[in-house]
Amino acid sequence: MDNEQLNSPGYDIPDELKNVVSITTLDRLYNWGRRSSVWPLMFGLACCAIEMIAAQASRYDMARFGMEVMRPTPRQADMMLVSGTVTKKMVPLIVRLYNQMPEPKYVVAMGACASGGGPFKEGYNVVAGIDKFLPVDVYIPGCPPTPQALIHGMIKLQEKIDKESLSKVRWYDRKKEDSVYIPVPVLGPDLMDPRRFAEIKAIAAAKEG
Amino acid sequence: MATPVTTATLDLAARFPGAVSADARPGYKGWIVEKDKLIEVSTAIRDEFGYDHLTAVTGVDYLPEGKMEVVYHAFKTTGGPVLTFKVQVPRVDPVEVPSVTPVWPGAEFQEREAWDLLGIKFTNHPDLRRILLWEGFEGHPLRKDWKEAFYEEDAKPFKSRWPEGKHVMAEEKNPFKDNINFPKDFDPEQWVPEGEAALYGALARYQVQEGSLKTDHIVINMGPQHPSTHGVFRAAVTVDGETVVSLKPVMGYLHRNHDKIGERNTFLQNMPFTDRLDYFNSMSNNFGYAVAVEKLMNIQVAERAEYIRVIMAELSRIQNHLVFIGMLGNDLGMMYTPALYAFEERELILDIFEAVAGSRMMCNYYRFGGVVRDLPEGVLEKIKGLVFERLPGKADELDRMLTENEVFVARMKGIKVINAEDAIRYSITGPVLRAAGVPYDIRRADPYSIYDRFDFDIPTRPNGDLMDNYLLRLDEIRQSLRILQQAIKQIPEGPVMTGKPQYQVRVPAGESYGRVESPKGELAFYVVSNGKPNPFRYHVRPASFVNITALEKMCVGTKIADFIAILGVIDIVLGELDR
């Protein structure tokens, strides 16, 4: 329902209440609150973090979109901006930070590395994209994305939040207790994802040599 | 100012008959030292010949010859050319070389790196653990017979891309369908992680003093996600109350395998990768790599390009120091205000980079023999406006705003970072060394490019405290402006590239060590070529990584809050530190 229809309920509104009361849906109110105060987790991984700082600073000023409050603790953050190359040594910590963030939470993969490994994909210590572990909401291309691109990505995230519905979002689903707990990867001879232990064992056994 | 010392003919072979011989391979220079005599020869190099500054230690795996080589590059802090010496050992495990940390403590982390990546064991090393990877990692990745999970071929361009032109996802070729690899019959359920026992074991132990209060030390773990660690740096700190008793930096959280990827790439393909080392100063990184490869190729750089290079490198230094001052404010609790002033000016400099190179941060602008394209119309005017009018005033403005700010002074004055003697022993370079009173700047001590044509001073500060480190950055901004003003007046017209632009350059066999004064200190590239289109060995000697070797030395005895400020003035950047 758009605003026009909502505000024309089909019966007379007394004059003294006109322009005082606004009628909306709960979804819309909830989404408006969420989208206007997306607080990112304050952590930078690599080069992209510098453009993230530049987007917060004088010329670009991300505060215009309600996203300037960077929280250093995951307990107060809504959004994880994965700003740079995710390495195997770092990914257990990123997953732990993600698990510590309260829901609702969003993940934005900023730049080529976080989206898919980028120029360093072939490296032995590089995870080819954070989406191997975390559910990503918005991908921002670029190496690094300019502040304009970052802000555009943030606006896309706001549009995504606008379309959410309380009855459908995963964090109010009663059937699942902890809908997005990600098991923390383990550092072994190489990076081990606990969800794939059986598979790794089977392939290693079948390996030649 | 340091006067360049006339180097007497240095003949190590005559001084140590039988123990040292000249490196006779074509394209190589320096001396080959017998393994058993290394400490004796090193001590003489430091004490008799005056090479007090060991800047780089790294290894090369000569698989075809069945040898491992450890390469040392030493300099004099009074200026002059490099002294290279090497130790060769057979490539049979365990590969053992004596550690030179008793002579030059600054080698500590670089030796750890050589152990981690090449598996060279340094005997008598005080704390030989893996540094960039984790304990338990399978193998030593920079060995020539070690292959990564996404291994395709030894050298680019890969045949699947060209000439065949059929691209297959790297995941498809790997049995695990991901960037992972495990030994045969590996069972993840049975794996016991090594954990961090070795790290915490390396911290100083607490001992109860006779007759004192029964207190206890606390181990604090800072980072890698911490707002004051400038990225994913981590430190394990033992504190007694608020005083730091022991500290161990932990790094590698941004280890992007620069060296390994660099050895697969062609020479020119490495240029954009150098951008991502010290991501504040891609222009300076390009400069260092170009200098190293040009030395090897033995080509002249076009005259106009030399000036453009200097202009870009100095602009880069200015914006780096501006951000440094802003971020130092953040670290000291002056949240955001100085940083906003700094970023305002930085954006103007980035506009120039974007105009000349097409990208704000990752410029990829230098080429062997010149730069990729000439300055677009109007850019020189813009630079002129910045360096003659806007930036001098803005530097003064920052100076007025911060230098006499009472809180700033109270936090910074008298907090010692390091003294001159220790700074040299620990191989520190760049502003931290100069703030300790040593007038050592590669632009003057071992001039590269055209820095010998400009009139500028090497600023130093006498005390080596936090305040001096901050003031030195302001001095350097002003000196860079001086260089820029001269360069803009002198810049000639002409081509910006020697010869034709080439996709594949020919690099003769040999080794080269090219170094520049990056805003963080000495940035050097050690490149070994065997005449093929790809470097045989490609090693980066980053300033941040070596400067951090002395972090424990700097911090022990200070308060934990000062540790943040000390880390701030070293001005680390993780892309360069972890590579």
Q: Enumerate the residues of chain B whose CB falls inside 8 A of the CB of residue A53.
A: 339, 343
pLDDT level of residue A1 (50, 70, 90 thresholds): low
* DSSP 8-state secondary structure symbol assigned to residue A155: H
pLDDT at A209: 63
CA distance A52 to A62: 9
Interface ipTM > 0.95:
no
| Prediction pTM value | 0.90
Closest by alpha carbon to B459, among B483, B477, B447, B446? B477
pLDDT band at A177 (very low <50, low <70, confident <90, very high): low
Element (H, E) at B314: helix B303-331
pLDDT at residue B4, as a whole number: 42
Q: What angle do CA B290, B513, B305 make, to 5 degrees?
A: 25
DSSP 8-state assignment for residue B6:
P
The per-residue pLDDT for range B165-205, each reduced to its tens digit, is 888 888 888 888 888 888 888 888 888 877 787 888 888 77
Q: For position B7, what pLDDT does the model report?
A: 46
Put simply, the answer to whether A58 touches B184 (Cβ < 8 Å) is: no
Considering only A149-163, B59-73, B215-229, which range has the smallest mean pLDDT? Answer: B215-229
Residues of B in contact with A97 (CB under 8 A): 225
Q: Nearest C-alpha of chain B: how many angstroms from A6?
A: 43
Kindly indicate the confidence band of residue A149, based on its pLDDT and cuts at 50, 70 and 90.
very high
Residue B297 to chain A, least CA–CA distance (Å): 27
Q: What is the pLDDT of residues B136-167, one digit of tens each?
A: 888 899 999 898 888 888 888 888 887 888 88
Per-residue confidence (pLDDT) for residue A18, from 0 to 100:
74
Between A3-17, B155-169, B425-439, B520-534, the lowest mean confidence (pLDDT) is in: A3-17
Please give the average per-residue pLDDT across B250-272, as a whole number: 91
What are the helix (H) ranges across B358-425? 379-385, 391-402, 406-412, 420-425
Q: Is A192 in contact with B260 (Cβ distance < 8 A)?
A: no
Contacting residues of B for A120, CB less than 8 Å apart:
256-257, 261
- For testing the chain B interface, which of A122, A132, A203 should be mutated: the one with the most B CBs within 10 Å? A122
User: In this complex, do B344 and A57 lie within 8 Å of one another by their Cβ atoms?
Assistant: yes
Helices (H), chain A: 3-6, 26-35, 47-56, 91-100, 111-116, 147-162, 197-206
Cβ proximity of B234 and B253 under 8 Å: yes
Cα B236 from Cα B247, distance rounded (Å): 6
B54 touches chain A (CB under 8 A): no
CB pair distance less than 8 Å for B231 and A45: yes
- pLDDT band, residue B6 (cuts 50/70/90): very low
Name the percent of chain B in helix, strand, coil, to the closest 5: 40, 15, 45
Q: How confident is the model at residue B396 (pLDDT cuts 50, 70, 90)?
A: very high
| Chain-chain contact of A207 with B170 (C-beta, under 8 angstroms) | no
DSSP 3-state of A13: coil
Averaged pLDDT, A180-188: 86
Over the range B483-517, which residues count as b (16 or more CB within 10 Å of their CB) and which as e? Answer: bbebbbeebeeeebbbeeeeeebebeebbbbbbbb
- CB contacts of A126 in chain B (<8 Å) are 179, 256-257
Q: What are the pLDDT digits (tens) for B81-99?
A: 889 999 999 988 888 999 9
What is the mean pLDDT of the segment spanning B34-58? 90
Q: With CA atoms as reference, report the closest residue to A82 among A121, A120, A127, A32.
A: A127
Q: How far apart are CA A128 and CA A130, in angstroms?
A: 7
Q: What is the pLDDT of residue B9?
A: 59
Has residue A191 got a pLDDT over 80? yes
At position B24, the amino acid (one-letter code) is: A
pLDDT recorded at residue B523? 92
Coil, strand, or helix at residue B73? strand
Which chain A residues touch B279 with a CB distance below 8 Å? Answer: 46-47, 50
pLDDT, tens digit (0-9, with 9 covering 90-100), for B435-457:
999 999 999 888 888 999 999 99
Question: Distances from the Cα of B263 to the Cαs of A33, A52, B61, B293, in angstroms?
Answer: 51, 31, 12, 14
User: B174 or B539, which is more confident?
Assistant: B539
Give me the pLDDT at residue B478, please: 93
Q: Strand, coil or helix: what is A119? A: helix
Looking at residue A3, its pLDDT comes to 65
- CB atoms A188 and B193 under 8 Å: yes
> Number of C-alpha atoms within 13 angstroms, CB side, residue A173?
11
Whether residue B210 is predicted with pLDDT greater than 70 in this model: the reply is: yes
Question: Is the minimum CB–CB distance between B191 and chain A shorter than 8 Å?
Answer: yes
For chain B, give the percent of residues with pLDDT over 70: 98
Residue B220's H or E segment, with its range, is strand B218-222
User: How far away is chain A from the Cα of B367, in angstroms, using its nearest Cα?
Assistant: 20
Q: What's the average model confidence in pLDDT over A118-139?
A: 91
> Which pLDDT score, from 0 to 100, does residue A176 have?
66
pLDDT of B11 reads: 81
A178 — pLDDT class (breaks 50, 70, 90): low
User: pLDDT at position B262, please?
Assistant: 92
- A50 closest CB neighbour out of B186, B255, B280: B280
Which stretch of DSSP H or E encloses residue B321? helix B303-331
What is the Cα–Cα distance from B118 to B140, expressed in whole angstroms? Answer: 5
Residue B121, SS3 per DSSP: strand
CA distance B578 to B133: 10
B214 touches chain A (CB under 8 A): no
Cβ separation of A46 and B276 shorter than 8 Å? yes
Decide if pLDDT at A179 tops 50: yes
**Does the CB of B224 have a partner CB in chain A at under 8 Å?**
yes
Q: For residue A54, list chain B residues with Cβ-Cβ distance below 8 A.
A: 343, 346-347, 350
pLDDT band of B528, cuts 50, 70, 90? very high
Set of chain B residues whose Cβ sits within 8 Å of the Cβ of A95: none
Nearest to B349 by CA among B401, B311, B304: B311
Residue A7 is predicted with a pLDDT of 63
The position carrying tokens 């971020």 is B327
Q: Pick the residue of B173, B190, B255 with the most A CBs within 10 A to test the interface with A by mutation.
A: B255
Retrieve residue B260's tokens.
């390994």
- Check: CB of residue B215 under 8 Å from CB of residue B531: no
On chain A, the residues whose CB falls within 8 A of the CB of B185 are 204-205, 207
Q: Which residues of A touch B191 (CB under 8 A)?
A: 186, 188-189, 192
Residue pLDDT, tens place only, B541-559: 999 999 999 998 899 889 9
Q: What is the mean pLDDT of chain B?
A: 88
- Residue in A closest to B234 by C-alpha: A90
> Do residues B237 and B186 touch, judged by C-beta distance below 8 A?
no
Q: What share of chain A is helix, strand, coil (3-state, %, to 5)?
A: 40, 10, 45
Kindly determine whether residue A187 and residue B226, on different chains, have CB atoms separated by under 8 Å: no
Predicted confidence at residue B499, as pLDDT, reads 81
pLDDT given for residue B199 in this prediction: 83
